[in-house]
Amino acid sequence: MNWFNEWWIWMVAALVLAIAEVLIPGWIFFGFAVGAFFLGSVIWLGIGTGLSMAWTLVIFAVLSLIAYILMRQIFGIRRGQVKIWDRDIND
């Protein structure tokens, strides 16, 4: 049995990664969670059921990268929120 072709494993991985994102924020784990969710959805639909472990991981990596880039574009770095210190805090 190829565990990488089970849709529910990818959904559980997405849930665990989303929980990790809540505990350790930084948008990294959420990109992986979205990639795992979409890969689980693709396998659930029956599209990627016959793939090898290597191709499944490649698709997961590509989906995670796309999700991360899209989230950076949507939620991105906000301009003008950097605090510039013009005096010493101990003065």
Q: Is residue 13 part of a domain?
A: yes
Domain that holds residue 11: 3-75
| Cβ atoms < 10 Å from Cβ of 79 | 6
Rg (CA), the chain: 18
pLDDT at 58: 94
Q: Is residue 21 part of a domain?
A: yes
| Cβ atoms < 10 Å from Cβ of 28 | 14
* Number of folded domains that form the chain: 1
Q: Where are the beta strands (DSSP E) in 1-91?
A: none
Mean pLDDT of 56-81: 85
Q: Is residue 17 part of a domain?
A: yes
Q: Tokens 């992986």, residue?
A: 32
Within the chain, residue ranges assigned H as helices are 7-23, 28-44, 53-75
Q: Is residue 86 part of a domain?
A: no
pTM of the model: 0.78
User: Does 77 score more than 70 pLDDT?
Assistant: no
User: Does 72 score more than 80 pLDDT?
Assistant: yes
pLDDT tens per residue, range 12-47? 999 999 999 999 877 789 999 999 999 999 999 988
pLDDT at 14: 96
